[in-house]
Amino acid sequence: MTKTTMSRRHALALAGAGAALPFLPQGAFAQAEGSAVTIAYNVNLPSFDPTVGLSAVNPTIQSLYQAVFDPYVAQAPDLSFAPGLLTKWGWNADRSKVVLEVRPGAVWHNGDPVTPEDVVWSLQRAAKPETGNPIQFVWSTIGNFKVDGGTITGDVLRFEPTLFKWMAFLTGYVLPKAYYEKVGPDGFEAKPVGSGPYQVEQFERNAFLRLKANPKYWGGAPAFETVVFKFVPDATSRVAEIESGQSQVTLEVPYEEFDRLKAAPGLHGASTPVSDIAMIFLTDTGVMLDRNVRLAAHHAIDKQAIVQRLLRGYGVPINTLEAPEYDAFDPSITVAHDPEKAKSLLAASGFSPDKPVKFPIQTTRGFKPKDYEIIQAIVGMWRKVGIEATIEIYEIAQHFELRARHALDPAAFYNWGNAIGDPSTSTGFAMYDHSPHSAWRQRELSALIDPLWSEPDEAKRIAGYKAVDRKIAEEGYVIPLFQYVQPILYRDTLKVTPQVNGMILPQRITKA
């Protein structure tokens, strides 16, 4: 096993959960009048450090982090990369070194200048296993940094083809060295300091996060002086928030409510395919070790019907863990909806509608639009071919914890995010046997992924992942369902820019 393979064992599991909204103090929220806007958000913020621990790799929380902290490399709404605190980045000719140019003139919220030393410290801290960065295996691939003015050079200790993509994604944030070392982790949690467009004014756990504009932001002051993220995990409550005017922006509401409200006076709606996909993890245990059962479960699902009837057309059926915008998307890989083939496969293993194969399936309820109803529909489709599945509801935090322990049910519904569109971040992390993000952990499949982690030839790397995706489809190791279309509702006094990565960034909300 390679050093690259071994280092990936240190990755932590994803986490993030919603909780009931407690009593909120009067005056905590401002209406979108003049210089304030309130966003009814679908998850809570468990931690302010965007580079360590479980919450750091929860894609849904990144909207909150990117309001306060700057990534090394920014992303435009269409997922293309743009300068962040780094204005230039890349390898030298033989890829033995990285060269980074630090933005001049950026300042921390406490008034200190952002320096190349901050960038080096952030990269070194992220590379240390003891720090608890879940993507440590990426950041540890470079080191021995040298600073010359605003230019940083570093040695490539192990070639990682996705390094610069990660600088725009999970844990890819620059933190203030002097301030963090002065106050420590607890002090940073109590009073976080970033260099982003907003700074923290007030935070009530499980209730809200109140931000005020950073007037010295290098990208220009945002349109609104005050932004409040109100944590509203319940989808019905988010509908009430936007309809009553208590919040001016919300997301991830049921699609029938989205269609109703986007036509209501004073409201607008935006919907765009995002980089999230709905999938059913299969765990390599019990009946799922039977290839016929796995493939039958996939062939029995009418994805198009689910998208049209439950999602009102707001979805794109897929057959691999690559959405159309991902680098390794291959439309030639298909798994047809074929109930008769499903019955035939099950019959070969001794199962039928009269003698069904039985297993439980886990799902969230209300985390994503129609998540529970989708699983209800799938269970109905399965019943017709000879699969009897029992639904178990869990919170999203339970999913992360169970997945890390390799203790998910034989089938488990999940929403997978991949804002950088790289196959290593979808197929790689989801299907590699040593990844804590996987449910199917078989060495035969992972042996195909092993060389792709550090493949320097990009065309060969992408082709390799396409071959892995085809193998997964042929063997039924996971059930991809569809690419999400994200519903966003907002007052007509605002202009909201949808992000393909699914984030709601307050710095990209302006007055209409």
Q: How does pLDDT run across 218-247, given as a tens digit for each residue?
A: 999 999 999 999 999 889 999 999 999 999
Residue 294 lies in domain: 273-485
Amino acid at site 138:
V
Q: How far, CA to CA in Å, does 188 sit from each of 49, 101, 131, 430?
A: 8, 27, 15, 32
Instruction: Let me know whether 442 and 507 are in one domain.
Output: no
Is residue 106 within 8 A of residue 85, CB to CB? The reply is yes
Instruction: Let me know whether 158 and 120 are in one domain.
Output: yes
53, part of any domain: yes
Is residue 77 within 8 A of residue 500, CB to CB? The reply is yes
Amino acid at site 163:
L
Q: How many structural domains comprise the chain? A: 2
Q: How far, CA to CA in Å, does 98 sit from each of 73, 178, 264?
A: 14, 24, 52
Tokens at residue 385, please? 């071919």
What's this model's pTM, rounded to 2 decimal places?
0.82
pLDDT for 34: 62
Phi, psi angle pair for 37, to nearest 5°: -145, 140
Instruction: Let me know whether 333 and 466 are in one domain.
Output: yes
Instruction: Let me know whether 498 and 443 are in one domain.
Output: no
Under DSSP, the state recorded for 182 is H
233, part of any domain: no
Q: In DSSP terms, which residues pair with 98 in a beta bridge?
A: 91, 154
E strand spans, 283-380: 315-317, 357-363
- Interval 4-15: pLDDT, tens: 333 333 332 222
* H or E segment to which residue 148 belongs: strand 142-148
Alpha carbon 113 to its chain centroid, in Å, reads 31
- Interval 15-43: pLDDT, tens: 222 333 333 333 444 444 568 999 999 98
Distance, in Å, from the CA atom of 166 to the CA atom of 416, rounded to the nearest integer, reads 16
238, part of any domain: no
**What is the 3-class SS of 452-488, one letter each residue?**
HHHCCCHHHHHHHHHHHHHHHHHHCCEEEEEEEEEEE
Is residue 355 within 8 A of residue 343, CB to CB? The reply is no
pLDDT for 7: 36
Instruction: Let me know whether 428 and 325 are in one domain.
Output: yes
Instruction: Let me know whether 191 and 280 are in one domain.
Output: no
497, part of any domain: yes
Instruction: Let me know whether 30 and 157 are in one domain.
Output: yes
Is residue 168 within 8 A of residue 73, CB to CB? The reply is yes
What are the per-10-residue average pLDDT scores of the chain (512 residues)?
34 30 39 78 92 85 96 93 97 96 98 98 96 92 98 96 95 98 97 98 96 96 97 93 97 94 97 93 98 98 97 95 93 98 98 98 90 97 98 89 93 92 93 92 96 93 98 98 96 94 95 94
266, part of any domain: no
Distance, in Å, from the CA atom of 48 to the CA atom of 188, rounded to the nearest integer, reads 8
What's the CATH code of the domain at 410?
Answer: 3.10.105.10
Tokens at residue 481, please? 């369902």
Tokens at residue 52, please? 């360590």
Tokens at residue 162, please? 């996705």
3-state secondary structure of 421: coil
Instruction: Let me know whether 336 and 187 are in one domain.
Output: no
pLDDT for 229: 98
What's the CATH code of the domain at 169?
Answer: 3.90.76.10
Instruction: Let me know whether 451 and 503 are in one domain.
Output: no
pLDDT for 11: 33
Instruction: Let me know whether 431 and 504 are in one domain.
Output: no
Q: How far, CA to CA in Å, does 489 sit from each of 78, 84, 252, 316, 493?
A: 19, 28, 9, 20, 12
Sign of CA dihedral 305, 306, 311, 314: negative
Q: What is the DSSP string of 64-92?
A: HHHHHS-BSEEE-TTS-EEESSEEEEEE-
Is residue 307 within 8 A of residue 482, CB to CB? The reply is yes
pLDDT for 407: 95
Is residue 493 within 8 A of residue 249, CB to CB? The reply is no
Distance, in Å, from the CA atom of 413 to the CA atom of 430, rounded to the nearest integer, reads 13
Instruction: Let me know whether 334 and 433 are in one domain.
Output: yes
Under DSSP, the state recorded for 173 is B
175, part of any domain: yes
Distance, in Å, from the CA atom of 477 to the CA atom of 410, rounded to the nearest integer, reads 11
Instruction: Let me know whether 23 and 123 are in one domain.
Output: yes
Is residue 237 within 8 A of residue 54, CB to CB? The reply is no
209, part of any domain: no
380, part of any domain: yes
